[in-house]
Amino acid sequence: MGLKNPVEQAVILLRSRLCNPNFIFTLFSDSPDSNYSKLKYIISSSVTESCNNSVLLLGPRGCGKLAVLELVLEDLLREFPDMISVIKLNGLLHSDDNCALKEIARQLCLEHQLAFSKMASSDENSQFLIAMLRECGLAHKTVLFVLDEFDLFAQGKQRLLYSLLDAMQSVTSQAVVIGVSCRLDADQLLEKRVRSRFSHRKLLFLPPSREDLQRLLEHALLLPSGSDLPHEFVANFNSNLLNIFADKKFKDIMDTVFNTDSTFKQVLTFLFSALCHLDLKCGFLSVENFKDALSNIQRQPKLECLKDCSILELYILVCMKRLEVREHETCNFNSIMKEYKSIHDSFQTTDYYARDVCRRAFEHLLQRELISFLDNRGHGHSIEFRPVKLLISWQELYQGLKSYGSCPAILYKLVERETTT
């Protein structure tokens, strides 16, 4: 490849680290009471003792449920080669029973070098599954079923869950079902016949603590000394980074990140954004990079949207807000136009446009999703008559007008007055 710029190389290395959850979570695998150890114990004991088991991994999105599971699976595959086969399903893809059975059959065939028939019926597939489970049991091979987005499998008749868990009731089979879900009440979604067959093991995944976060920062951002990067650069980079970590301003920024959303995913996104701001010429991260990153992940889309509006569109929003405050039960384009006219009549504004123009502005607002129709039906009605509602709060509108560069003073006054009265 030739000699490359060390800064670029370092950026690539750090970016691939942040994009690889397995790397991030190896940090937490050593402590004995971590989810990693617990999960590993549960699975490995059911592999060695050749019994059936089921477990749910629950926790908010972006807390590393799947990543930890992947790490465990990787380790176990290394420890017990030829004793485990893993079947991975995702509720987003396979919530349909027939589709799930087909996918299981496909993965089983792939794993055991069998020919997979696309034409097989769902009945044949399910028979194949049971036969395979028996065969694997006889061969002391554990089949691990990983069901991501577990809650989606619990929709409908739950035939797949039932047939899986029911097959595990027999002595010959040897399987572990691992459900992953961000719904903490995922086990409550199960039907009675499924729930009674399910062992109620649950592992809870939580956002990291402050200490963990600090470790995570160092783990993710410090460059390794043993790589092909120049030593001098690595040392400089790392010492610069440690200086930043100790900086008061940086600590404040991290506090803000932590207080708004402290999941791993969010922290990683924040770090990714900071890394993108890194100046390739100077080659080191700075506190400013982190500050920019903070403003990047803390967005206020509605305010941005208001800033993009034209003045006529703002007028319409203010009219709607006034109607809303006066507790008109519903409003539509016609009533807004009436209000618009009355504002014009009482204040003699310069911005009074024809109805057609206003309707286009109204359509723009609909497109921006600052307002929306109350009902999805009523396609027979023309736009003027369909009731609409405002999707922003008074505060947002007020703030939006305040930060809008050339907002007419009258609009500002109108909104302000609505609250004082």
Partner 1 sequence: MSSEESPQITRRTTRLSAANSENAVDSSKSCALKPLSVNDLLYGNSPISLEELISSFPGRRGQIIELMSLLGPVNSPMFPTFVYGGSSTGKTSVVLNIFRHLRRPFVYASCITCYSPRILFESILNQLMLHRKSDSNGYSSIKRCDKPSDFVNLLREALSGVIGTLQGNAEKAGSKKAARWPNGKMVYLIFDSLNLVKEWEKSSTILPFLFNLYDILRMPEVGLIFISNNSLDTYYADTGFVEPFPFHFPDYSEDDLRQILLKHQVNKNLYSSFLDVVLRPFCRITRRVNELSTALLPLFKKYCEPLGDLGAVPNEDMKRKLYGHLQRHIAPSLNETFRVSAGLTSGASRSKDNKRKGIVKKLEACTSSNELDFHMSTSAKFLLISAFLASRNPATLDASFFDSTGGSDNRKRKRKSSAKSLEQKETAEQELLMKGPGTFPLERLLAIFQCLTSVAEYSPDVEGQGNRATMGDSGYIGSHVLLQLSSLCNANFITKGGSCPLEGSTRYRSNVSEDMVLKVARSVKFPLSKYLYRR
Instruction: Tell the smallest beta-carbon distance from residue 375 to partner 1 (Å).
Output: 12
Q: How many CB atoms lie within 10 A of CB 337?
A: 17
Mask for 216-245, x = binds partner 1 (CB under 8 A): ------------------------------
Instruction: Tell the smallest beta-carbon distance from residue 331 to partner 1 (Å).
Output: 8
Kindly state whether residue 188 participates in binding partner 1, applying the rule CB under 8 A. no
Kindly state whether residue 8 participates in binding partner 1, applying the rule CB under 8 A. yes
Residues in the chain, total: 421
Encode the chain in three state secondary structure.
Answer: CCCCCHHHHHHHHHHHHHCCHHHHHHHHCCCCCCHHHHHHHHHHHHHHCCCCEEEEEECCCCCCHHHHHHHHHHHHHHHCCCCEEEEEEEHHHHCCHHHHHHHHHHHHHHHCCCCCCCCCCHHHHHHHHHHHHHHHHHCCCEEEEEEECHHHHCCCCCHHHHHHHHHCCCCCCCEEEEEEECCCCHHHHCCHHHHCCCCCEEEECCCCCHHHHHHHHHHHHCCCCCCCCCHHHHHHHHHHHHHHHHCHHHHHHHHHHHHHCCCHHHHHHHHHHHHHCCCCCCCCCCHHHHHHHHHHHCCCHHHHHHHHCCHHHHHHHHHHHHHHHCCCCCECHHHHHHHHHHHHHHHCCCCCCCHHHHHHHHHHHHHHCCEEECCCCCCCCCHHHCCEEECCCHHHHHHHHHHCCCCCHHHHHHHHHHHHC
Positions 374 through 403 that interact with partner 1 (CB under 8 A):
379-385, 387
Mask for 154-183, x = binds partner 1 (CB under 8 A): ---------------------------xxx
Kindly state whether residue 341 participates in binding partner 1, applying the rule CB under 8 A. no
Kindly state whether residue 312 participates in binding partner 1, applying the rule CB under 8 A. yes
Kindly state whether residue 99 participates in binding partner 1, applying the rule CB under 8 A. yes
Which one of residues 210, 307, 326, 389 is an interface residue with partner 1 (CB under 8 A)? 307
Positions 72 through 91 that interact with partner 1 (CB under 8 A):
90
Kindly state whether residue 360 participates in binding partner 1, applying the rule CB under 8 A. yes
- Which among 283, 321, 301 has a CA at the least distance from the CA of 418? 321
Kindly state whether residue 302 participates in binding partner 1, applying the rule CB under 8 A. yes
Positions 34 through 73 that interact with partner 1 (CB under 8 A):
61-62, 66
Instruction: Tell the smallest beta-carbon distance from residue 193 to partner 1 (Å).
Output: 24
Residues 6 or more apart whose CB falls under 8 angstroms from that of 45 comprise none
91 or 137, CB closer to partner 1? 91
Stretch that binds partner 1, among 49-57, 96-104, 194-202, 218-226 (CB under 8 A): 96-104
Radius of gyration of the chain (CA): 29
Kindly state whether residue 202 participates in binding partner 1, applying the rule CB under 8 A. no
Kindly state whether residue 366 participates in binding partner 1, applying the rule CB under 8 A. yes
Which one of residues 305, 394, 410, 412 is an interface residue with partner 1 (CB under 8 A)? 305
Residue 113 tokens, joined: 């070098």
213 or 305, CB closer to partner 1? 305
Which one of residues 169, 259, 348, 367 is an interface residue with partner 1 (CB under 8 A)? 367
Instruction: Tell the smallest beta-carbon distance from residue 135 to partner 1 (Å).
Output: 24
138 or 206, CB closer to partner 1? 206
82 or 356, CB closer to partner 1? 356
Kindly state whether residue 356 participates in binding partner 1, applying the rule CB under 8 A. yes
Kindly state whether residue 204 participates in binding partner 1, applying the rule CB under 8 A. no
Mask for 269-288, x = binds partner 1 (CB under 8 A): x--xx--xx--x--------
Count interface residues toward partner 1 (CB under 8 A): 71
Positions 16 through 35 that interact with partner 1 (CB under 8 A):
16, 18-20
- Which among 42, 363, 365 has a CA at the least distance from the CA of 202? 42
Kindly state whether residue 330 participates in binding partner 1, applying the rule CB under 8 A. yes
Instruction: Tell the smallest beta-carbon distance from residue 172 to partner 1 (Å).
Output: 29
Kindly state whether residue 338 participates in binding partner 1, applying the rule CB under 8 A. yes
The identity of residue 133, as a single letter, is L
